[in-house]
Chain A
């Protein structure tokens, strides 16, 4: 069966002889986009997070055939060495990783999460279900689908807060 995906803006057609291929394995093993990581392969760790049609999902819990016609953005699609996305830069500035294995998933998840906040989506911390202010607690809650076994959570939260504020604070710190 043919599956056509638009991956990072480019149309890619895969010939799959078996529907069992997950979107994650299709990206890594068929399209050589190994930036997206396989952690638990069961939707618990978030290392495989990619953005599909504008929304973050666990690519391990989706079959590639279910995404025929979809637009996929992976870590390779948001920035490259020398031209990193603001969220990638913020993770570097704040040392938001140690081993780095969960980092692509963290960055893709955080990128889409900020869009969700801009759209006014509530979280379980939003008492009145109104638009949320992006407190550290809100960042932690909204990022709970991404685990970091090196436990770099404080720096991850700093990086995301910084990126959400447009990097102003870190830039000011750099200047000082």
Chain B
């Protein structure tokens, strides 16, 4: 690990506008620092700045950036109104990691692309301009949607996929004040600047995540992976489906493990919304989601896998509803 300066921040003001790298749970950042993929000069320990509460916000909820994943998943209001979020969080990591990992830190976690971790290989995300080893390399876990010629890495998390489907809003503050970013737009596509995972600007800090009013309906988070627990998603589907008189009155879908960001396709939701469920309709929704999907070789299987997973989730969400 490279040497760094450390200080304990007492409030967000000790961090905002500085060049210090915030460290909260540290479960991803410290790992990357041990590998020397991350080499911050200065760490700001944000574990004591507050921002660790979950509070009502009208009909919605405001979740502080320092709320631990375990607390968020177990919170009675979240379990009641936004069970998709609890399920997504509980599908990720281990009990030990969730006890440390925070809401803000989870959003900031970086890709698990093998080459990003391997200092001996080119990687545009780690060393801009050096090339992408995953293209034409081992790319079983990589993106099938929204990738670029410079990077085919995926965003690895689960929590943000649920937040995207729930239309959550990320509240951030920088030297020029506060602003809001839709959770769906927080992470970005790699384009020609894959070193930038998300839209957070230098000097900005995540303060909280706002969840809009509960949607009701069925909340399903289906995660397909190489082992049953403590593994990243190959494909995940986050779904909220509200049934009314035999038709899907509200549909929200987001996909994990397939792109550089949680993948949301409004056209697929619009296709389903207001319709009676049927396998044929689900298949057409999958067509819309997979519009432009491209395999890289080892990850070609993700294309049919996403289709099958979406079909299964929609069948489960709508079964028994007449």
B257 proximal to A (CB < 8 A): no
Contact B97 A58 (CB under 8 A): yes
**B96 in the interface, Cβ–Cβ < 8 Å?**
yes
Q: Are A19 and B26 in contact (CB under 8 A)?
A: no
A129 touches B31 (CB 8 A): no
Interface class of chain A by DSSP: loop
In whole Å, how far is A146's beta carbon from the nearest beta carbon of chain B?
A: 8
Main secondary structure of the interface of B (DSSP, over half): mixed
- Number of B positions contacting A (CB below 8 A): 35
Given contacts A19-B6, A144-B230, whether A63 and B97 have CB atoms under 8 Å apart is no
List CB contacts (< 8 Å) of A27-84 with chain B: 41-43, 46, 49, 55-58, 61-63, 65-66, 68
A66 near B26 with CB under 8 A, answer yes
Q: Which of the candidate stretches B82-90, B180-188, B281-289, B293-301 sits at the interface with the other chain?
A: B82-90
Interface 1/0 per residue, B91-135 and A, CB below 8 Å: 101111101100000000000000000000000000000000000
- Tell me, in angstroms, the Cα distance from A66 to B102 when the chains sit together: 15
Once A43-B97, A62-B30, A129-B83 are accepted as A-B contacts, the answer to whether A124 and B70 lie under 8 Å apart by CB is no
Q: In the complex, A146 Cα to B230 Cα: how many Å? A: 10
A18 within 8 A of B: yes
Which of B26, B79, B93, B95 is the one whose CB lies under 8 Å from A56?
B95
Count A-B pairs with CB separation below 8 Å. Answer: 98
| Cβ contact within 8 Å between B79 and A122 | yes
Q: Are B26 and A144 in contact (CB under 8 A)?
A: no
- With a 10 A CB-CB cut-off, give which of A49, A61, A113 has the most chain B CB atoms: A61
1/0 per residue A80-98: CB within 8 Å of B? Answer: 0000000000000000000
Determine the distance from Cα of A146 to Cα of B229 in the docked complex, in whole angstroms.
11
Within 8 A of A (CB), among B59-86: 70, 73-74, 79, 83, 86
Number of chain A interface residues as a range: 35 or more
Q: Contact: B95 with A145, CB < 8 Å?
A: yes
Say yes or no: B70 contacts A55, CB within 8 Å. yes
Which residues of B are found within 8 Å of A126, using beta-carbon distances?
90
Residues of A close to B25: CB separation below 8 A: 61
Structural contact, A41 and B230, CB atoms closer than 8 A:
no
- For the complex, give the distance between the alpha carbons of A58 and B23 in Å: 16
B-side interface residues toward A, CB under 8 Å? 1, 3-6, 8, 23, 25-27, 30-31, 34, 43, 45, 47, 70, 73-74, 79, 83, 86-87, 90-91, 93-97, 99-100, 228-230
